[in-house]
Amino acid sequence: MSAVAVPSAEHAALVDRLARPLQDLRISVIDRCNFRCPYCMPEERYPRDHAFMAAAQRLKPEEIERLARLFVGLGVRKLRLTGGEPLLRRDLPEIISRLAALPGAPDLALTSNGVLLTRDAAALAAAGLQRITISLDALDPQIFAAMSGGRGRVEDVLGGLRHAAAAGLSPIKINCVVQRGINETEVMPLVEHFRGSGQIVRFIEYMDVGTCNRWQASAVVPSRELLAQIHARYPLEPVDPAYRGEVAERYRFLDGAGEIGFISSVSQPFCGHCTRARVSADGRLYTCLFAREGQDLRALIRGDQGDGAVEAMIEAIWRKRQDRYSEQRQQAQPTREGRVEMYRIGG
């Protein structure tokens, strides 16, 4: 293996067919989950005895490190670990400590449903995790239970969040997927709960990702509707994006109580700035959340291939990339068959 490598001038120019650089990598470390959110992994499709990926199929910590190092060499600046539920991997601290030590010092974050953070937050921070995003769709116990497929308790997520804060993982972001008729009544309670806490709630438009939710456009609550509702009670002003390609539109409360964000993938698609690649737990590379096929990087790294061959494959895939599904959604009548599931590539 060749030694790596902060990005070279040559690699800094790696862009896809729509001139989008490769800057972010989401790494799913496991496809299992302790929740069954109906919009992601509904119980009827994924009963308790469902055959998820075997442990041997998942990339090992050293394989994840090697791939991440190559991606960083190609220009990636941000790494996010996700799942399934990433805390179900008992070797997550090892994965984190390997990534935290990478040359080029990429930003390192994690997305979790939060339940196991009471147990693990301190160990993850000690391993070098910098930031965390916790998914929380409702504060109301009944609505929360329904949205986690009957598997989660909201007080456990709030407990995990407190442990994450105590471990110094900050700023903590809270992701809430809003579905019409399901949890839109939770938007104001979430705003009020987190205002002034230093933690940033982001409301996400419900997406037609994967094949197993019964998505309908009518279930999407457009961000502008939520913005108007929140602004009427707690006046807001826009905040400039922190960097090119930031997916959340940010707003601050005029009274100084902090920030909120909106991720409007359906009503205001941001494909033009999408700089994100995703690797599944079994090492397949996906260039879009709505992709069907992933390219098998694990076969290369478990074969005799040196870093140059793996890098060349990633580079070739990125150069060919022209995905812009969310921008095309409204024109076409897309079939969902064969699309990769969200829990395999982690959002």
> Minimum Å distance from CB 193 to ligand SAM?
17
> Minimum Å distance from CB 266 to ligand SAM?
9
Q: Judged by CB under 6 A, which of 206, 323, 339, 340 binds ligand SF4?
A: 323
Full 3-state SS string of 80-125? EEECCCHHHCCCHHHHHHHHHCCCCCCEEEEEECCCCHHHHHHHHH
Closest CA to 187 of 204, 199, 173: 204
Query: Taking CB under 6 A as the rule, does residue 30 contact ligand SF4?
Result: no
Distance from the Cα of residue 268 to its chain's centroid: 18
Q: Using omega within 30 degrees of 0 as the cis cutoff, is the peptide bond preceding 171 cis?
A: yes
8-40: b or e for each residue (b if 16 or more CB lie within 10 Å)?
eeebeebebeeebbbbbbbbbbbbbbbbbbbbb
Where are the extended beta strands (E) located within 190-256? 200-205, 236-239, 249-253
Binding segment toward ligand SF4, per CB under 6 A, in 5-13, 28-36, 73-81, 248-256: 28-36
Query: Taking CB under 6 A as the rule, does residue 274 contact ligand SF4?
Result: yes
Q: Of 213 and 326, which CB lies nearer to ligand SAM in the complex structure? A: 213
Query: Taking CB under 6 A as the rule, does residue 132 contact ligand SF4?
Result: no
Query: Taking CB under 6 A as the rule, does residue 40 contact ligand SF4?
Result: yes
Query: Taking CB under 6 A as the rule, does residue 52 contact ligand SF4?
Result: no
> Minimum Å distance from CB 213 to ligand SAM?
5
Q: Where are the alpha helices (DSSP H) in 167-285?
A: 187-194, 223-233
Query: Taking CB under 6 A as the rule, does residue 99 contact ligand SF4?
Result: no
For residues 110 to 149, the per-residue mask of contacts with ligand SAM, x marking binding by CB under 6 A and - elsewhere, is -xxx---------------------x--------------
Question: 277 pairs with which residues across the strands?
Answer: 25
Contact 31, 281 (CB under 8 A): yes
Query: Taking CB under 6 A as the rule, does residue 37 contact ligand SF4?
Result: yes
Tell me the chain's radius of gyration from C-alpha atoms: 19
Dihedral angle sign, alpha carbons of residues 324, 327, 331, 336: positive
Q: Of 83 and 149, which CB lies nearer to ligand SAM in the complex structure? A: 83
Instruction: State both tokens at 139.
Output: 């504060």
> Minimum Å distance from CB 89 to ligand SAM?
12
Give which of ligand SAM, ligand SF4, none residue 82 binds (C-beta under 5 to 8 Å, depending on kind).
ligand SAM
Query: Taking CB under 6 A as the rule, does residue 326 contact ligand SAM?
Result: no
Question: 239 pairs with which residues across the strands?
Answer: 250
Query: Taking CB under 6 A as the rule, does residue 342 contact ligand SAM?
Result: yes
Total number of residues that touch ligand SF4 (CB under 6 A):
22
For residues 161 to 190, the per-residue mask of contacts with ligand SF4, x marking binding by CB under 6 A and - elsewhere, is ------------------------------
Contacts of 256 (CB under 8 A, 6+ apart): none
Q: Judged by CB under 6 A, which of 182, 325, 339, 345 binds ligand SF4?
A: 325
Query: Taking CB under 6 A as the rule, does residue 33 contact ligand SAM?
Result: yes
Instruction: State both tokens at 67.
Output: 């791939």
Name the 3-class secondary structure at 249.
strand
Q: What is the binding site for ligand SAM (CB under 6 A)?
A: 33, 39-40, 82-83, 85, 111-113, 135, 175, 177, 204, 206-207, 209, 213, 342-343, 346-347
Q: Which residues bind ligand SF4 (CB under 6 A)?
A: 33, 35-37, 40-41, 83-85, 113, 135, 270-271, 274, 288-290, 323-326, 343
